[in-house]
Amino acid sequence: MVDHTVRSFDADLETLDRHISEMGGIAEKMLSDAMDALATMNIELAQKVIETDLRMDALQRTVEDLAVRTIARRQPVAIDLRDTVGVIRISADLERIGDQAKNIAKRAAKIAGEARLPRAIVGLKSMHDMAANQLKDVLDAFAQRDPDAAKAVWRRDAELDALEDAVFRDLLTFMMEDPRNITFCTHLLFCAKNLERVGDHATNIAETVYYIVTAQNLPGEERPRGYDATALA
C-alpha cells in the first residue's frame, strides 16, 4: 500500500513537471513568434500568438488543480512540498510570460499599418534575445533542479534592465528626430517593457527553483511569495 502511494505521488510529480515543460515550450515559442511578428509586421503570426495564450491559461489551471489535489491527497513534506508548491508559482510566472508575448503581438498587429522605422527594432531584438536566453536557462535549471544555474539567471536580470534603459533612450531620440515616429515608437516602448517583464518572471522562476532545491532564499532577497522556509524545510 505504501509503495503504491509512493508510486502515485511520483506519478503526480512527473505529470506536473511535464506540464511545466509544456508551458515553458509554449512560452518560448510565443515570445519568439511575437518578436518575429513585430519585426516583420506579420499580422497573421501576431494573431497566432494571441490565440495561443488560451492554451497557456488552460495549462496553468491544470497545474494548479493537480498540485492542490496532490497536496491534499499526499500531504508531502520538505522538498516534496516545496516542489509541489513551487510548480504553482512557476506556472503562474510562465502564464504571465505568455501574457507579455501576447501584449507584444497585439502591439505588432496594431502598428502593422504605421510607417516603419527598422532601426528602432534593433534594440528590442537584443532585449528579446537576452530575455529568451534567460527563459531557456531557467527552464533548464528547473528541469535539472540546479540551484547554481538558477542563481546565474537571477544575477543576469540587471543586464536586461540596463538594456531596457538604453532602448528607452534610443526610442525617445527617434521620436524627437521626427514627430511621425511618435506613434510607432510609443508602441515599441510598451513592447520593451513587456520584454523587461519577461526577464522579471524568469528571475522569479530562478528564485523558486533555488528555494525548491536548497530551502533557502537567494542572498539579499525577500522571502519568496507564500513560502515559510521553517515550515517547508
pLDDT per residue as tens digits for the range 174-219: 999 999 999 999 999 999 999 999 999 999 999 999 999 999 998 7
Q: Which residues contact 175 (CB under 8 A, 6 or more apart)?
A: 181, 182, 185, 186
Residue 232 pLDDT more than 70?
no
Q: What is the pLDDT of residue 3?
A: 53
Q: Give the C-alpha separation, 125 to 70, whole Å.
A: 41
* 16-22 own/partner pairs: CB under 8 Å, 24+ apart: 16/63, 16/66, 16/67, 16/70, 16/84, 16/87, 17/87, 17/143, 19/59, 19/62, 19/63, 19/66, 19/87, 19/91, 20/63, 20/87, 20/90, 20/91, 20/94, 20/142, 21/139, 21/143, 22/59
Unique residue bearing C-alpha cell 532601426: 119
CB 163 within 8 A of CB 127: yes
The pTM assigned to this predicted structure is 0.90
CATH number of 2-232: 1.20.58.220
- pLDDT, average across residues 213-229: 64
How high is the mean pLDDT of the chain? 91
Residue 233 pLDDT more than 60?
no
| Burial (Cβ within 10 Å: 0-12, 13-18, ≥19) of residue 164 | buried
